[in-house]
Amino acid sequence: MISPTRVFLLLTISCRTVYVFDLFAPTGCKDADLTVTLKTPSNSPIKGQCKNSNQGRKYHSFTNIPYAEPPLGERRFQPPEPVHPWKETLDATKTNKVCLQDPILEGDGYIYGTEDCLVLNVYTPRISNDSSKLLPVLFWIHGGAYEWGSGVHIFGFGFFDQFDPGFFMDEEIVVVTINYRLGALGFLTTEDESIPANLGLRDQNFALKWVINNIEVFGGDPKDIVITGQSAGASSTCFQLLSNGKEMESVTGAIMISGTCLSPWAINMDARMKAFDVGKRLGLDSSDNSSRSLLKKLQRVPAKKLMREAGMHYLISKTDDGSIPMDFSPILAKDMFPKEPMADAISQGRFHKVPLLFGFNSEDCISPILVGLVPQINRKAKMWDQELSRMIQVNVNVDDRLKAAKDMKALYTNKSFSDDLAAVVKVCDYYLS
């Protein structure tokens, strides 16, 4: 029997290396370790704080670390840029930066957060100068329909307090959480160089590169990073695997919770049309179809007004198939992943191949029901009863979809879905897809 005072855990974060450690080995958070100097931007010092893990272990917390220049003024709707160095020690103990969003989920025009939000957070159980003792890194991308959420625990729904880093700090792992631009500011695009596509995904990728450059000073291994996320964060994780950039050489695994880039809500359509629709609502001449004109118009508008006009219309939209259309989310792009339909990329092996772990919550649709989306459940049930193959929304052969749908339905119910709405809730994911 293993002694209750000495608990040994096996942690296989990278699916390559097994780490063995004593949970109650001597450890601590010392004042001397609370200030670290970043490599990028060069020689920029930050100071964190000590916190207690779920089981009382001391760990180091560094929050609100800028990984890119604030996307303000002419940087709005442009790719992220490297942050300039600083000389004075940066206070990395605050958790007050959240990207602009409507957190109330009602589309009522209340906008929370700041446009200056491209920051990340690092949590580590120990800082060591010994390169042989570097820890694996978990790179977390938050969910929230590409419209809300944050890498810090500010308040309730959709934020990182559902995945408290304090629990991870009882294990030998470094955790990084990030903010990225949301809604119109992160995913509105003219589908050309004026307002490039997928700015939110670019932010995520830029933050990953920051981690590769800097994580060693926090005791993390820049060559052993597992990227992970929930919901929109899971589909973002999947999209990142479609990158062919050099940064992916550091990614040794991926975990996707309640979503992938194959999810029907993960990719958007008619992005340019939606962008100009926002412009017209903000006063752009209806006859002006110039991308540059739209960019200049949107860069001059106060950020909160822009986000309010762009709105969260999908939460109140009615669709025949019971799904929720996204106003702003990733698109297929020429100069930025994803460049092709995900089913094609995956079937042809054009993605970064690492061990993958997929998961989902049972009754994942409970949350949408709580915000008044029961009619969506009813429409979904009727649609599946009429055309069972539509249960499988990945772009594959219709006969294959029907066979898979029959097998899937048998796992959940032997009735019609209209007579067993609970089965719909068990089958569908958070966005009713």
Q: Are 196 and 189 in contact (CB under 8 A)?
A: yes
Do 275 and 268 touch, CB atoms closer than 8 A?
no
**Residues 413, 433: Cα–Cα separation, whole Å:** 18
Q: Specify the amino acid at residue 323.
A: S
Contacts of 127 (CB under 8 A, 6+ apart): 33, 36, 60, 217, 218, 219
Distance CA 74, CA 292 (A): 12
DSSP assignment letter at 41: T
Catalytic residue among 14, 150, 231, 323: 231
Structure tokens at 16: 């390559």
**Alpha carbons 406 and 390: distance in angstroms, whole number:** 11
Label residue 58 exposed, middle or buried (CB < 10 Å: 0-12, 13-18, 19+): middle
Q: Is residue 246 a contact partner of residue 159, using CB atoms and an 8 Å limit?
A: no
From the list 91, 40, 43, 35, the residue with the least C-alpha distance to 69 is 40
Alpha helices by DSSP H, 118-231: 165-168, 183-187, 199-214
| Helix-, strand-, coil-residue percentages of the chain, each rounded to 5 | 35, 15, 50
Residue 328: CB partners within 8 Å, gap ≥ 6? 146, 147, 183, 184, 186, 187, 188, 268, 274, 310
231 is catalytic: yes
Supply the residues annotated as catalytic: 231
